[in-house]
Each structure stands twice: as structure tokens, then as C-alpha cells.
Amino acid sequence: MILIADSGSTKCSWVLTDEENQKVLECNTIGFNPYFITHKNILNHLKSSELDDFKKNIKKVFFYGAGCSNLEMNNLIKKPLSQFFSNANVQIMHDLEAACLAMYNYKPNVTCILGTGSNSCFFDGDKIIENAPSLGFMLGDEASGNYFGKKIINYYFNGLFDEGLKLKFKKNYENDLMEIKKNIYDHRANVYLSKFFPFVSNNKSHQIIKNLILDTLDDFFELHVNCFKKYNPEEINFIGSVSFFLKEEIELICKKHELKLGNVVKNPIERLLKYHISDKS
């Protein structure tokens, strides 16, 4: 059996196939980002998941994860996975690789992730030639869920919303500043901040929010997409929930920067499955 995982910071999608490459199981756990989770917590979440029923029969695990960008971080994920799936060969790779493999359409392209966090790279069809620096949620993550979350909280408490937006925010989101600070500093801050992103996608027709979206996406392109124009990419592909809900706005920014938008996919797991059940895996 082969197990494939695509993990952001918020959620990890798992798909399991049998010897005939037939799908046996699909399930979700919390995201296993090595910067925000411990060995013990990974094992606990795996034990309480549906994967526990199949762990002895799994022979290969392909795990693509946010934060898995070097050997030290990869090992923080590999050790508990190897312990849990004791009969499996476990491979740990970055979620940017998953995005590239899932989105490749036989054209050299820029692949972008806009989810809880954000990232981008130029992929030539064989390997990542160059990728933008991922500075994390405190210094970077432009146009990500947590980035928009910070902006929304900032706008609300600094009085930049009109009365209508204020009322919508107060009705649906935490508006006690002390409680927000407590959640940010006591929990996985990037995941918590991302919970405010639906306020953006649900109110994107409002001029204040529309301007925020377009300005933020424009900054992302200036920093993390235009740097790859030197490779003459044929298209720009996007993966992640933020890009999925802001597809129309991304199209507008692509036109502004004279770039062609390729595919926009919320979750790459099905495409990863097709890749791995081919003779490539």
C-alpha cells in the first residue's frame, strides 16, 4: 500500500492506495508543520486517525509538508512517521514540490502556494530551478491566509472598517483584543490568524476589502512572481484555499503584470495520487 500526504500548517490531506492502485482511504488530520508540532503530538494524531487501521500494511509513505525545507526539519517529521508506519519507506519532501508535481502541464511555469502560508518557485518540469525565500508568518507569507488575518485584525482595531464591516466582524469573529493576543501567543499563531481569512473572501465585493485583496496580491507578484520573469514562464499556477477563493482577483493581477494564469487548485492531493500511481513512484 502507498500513502500520500499533502500537509499545510492547518490541515494534512491523506490518501491511501492498495496494490492495484485503487483508492482505499481518504482522510484529514491537522497539519504537521515541523515548526509547530512535536513528535508526540504527531503520533497522537496518527493513532486517533483512520490511518491506524492500515499502518502495518503500508509500504511507502510520500509526505509533502509546509516547513519541510531542510534535512533537520524533515527529520522532525520523518522520525514519528517511521515509528508509526514501521513497515514503510518514508520520504519527506517540501509542499512546494507537491505543488509543482501536481500542477505541471508540460510547460515551464511559476508555481505558487497561497494557503495558511505562501510560497513560489520556477519549475522547469524536472526540478525547481529557483524559489523565493520563505520568511515565515512573522516576516513574510504575503497574500496567505495568516497574512490576510493580520490585516483584517489590524483594520478592525484601527477603525478602518465602515459600520457595516464592523458589525459583520463583531458578529462572526473574536473581537476581544486580549483574547486574540492570547490565542496568537498561546497557540499556532499562523493557523489561528488564518481563521480570519473567510472574512476577506466573504466580503470581497466591499471596496475596502477589494482594495486590500488587490494591493496584497500585487505585492505578492512584485516580490514572489516577477522575479521569475527572466525564465519566460508559460503560465502561473496556484494551489491553496486562498488562491482558490481569490481566483478572479488573481486573474486581474496576472493581466496587470502581463502574465498568463494557468490552473488554480484548492487541494493537490488527487493530482499527487495520479502522479504517484504512475510508473514514476
Percent of the chain at pLDDT exceeding 90? 69
- Please tell me the distance from the alpha carbon of residue 229 to that of residue 110, in angstroms, as a whole number: 9
Q: Which residues contact 20 (CB under 8 A, 6 or more apart)?
A: none
- Please tell me the distance from the alpha carbon of residue 234 to that of residue 246, in angstroms, as a whole number: 21
DSSP 230: G
Q: What is the pLDDT of residue 279?
A: 53
- Please tell me the distance from the alpha carbon of residue 77 to that of residue 117, in angstroms, as a whole number: 18
Place of cell 515541523: 34
Q: Which residues contact 273 (CB under 8 A, 6 or more apart)?
A: 4, 15, 17, 23
Choose among 205, 243, 189, 172: nearest CA to 9.
Answer: 189
Place of cell 500537509: 7
Element containing residue 269 per DSSP (H, E):
helix 269-276
| Among the ranges given (30-34, 167-171, 275-279), the one the predictor scored with the smallest mean pLDDT | 275-279
What confidence tens digit (pLDDT) does each residue in 134-180 have?
777 778 899 999 999 999 999 999 999 999 999 999 999 998 999 99
Strands, E assignment, 18-86 = 23-30, 60-65
Q: Which residues contact 2 (CB under 8 A, 6 or more apart)?
A: 16, 17, 21, 58, 59, 60, 61, 62, 276, 277, 281
Q: What is the pLDDT of residue 270?
A: 86
**What is the reported pTM?**
0.83
Say yes or no to pLDDT of 63 above 80.
yes
What confidence tens digit (pLDDT) does each residue in 94-137 have?
988 899 988 888 888 899 999 989 999 999 888 899 887 777 77
Q: What is the pLDDT of residue 186?
A: 73
Domain boundaries, the chain: 2-98+269-276
Place of cell 473572501: 201
| 28 three-state secondary structure | strand
Cβ neighbour number for residue 56 with a 10 Å cutoff: 11
Which CATH number does 2-98+269-276 carry? 3.30.420.40
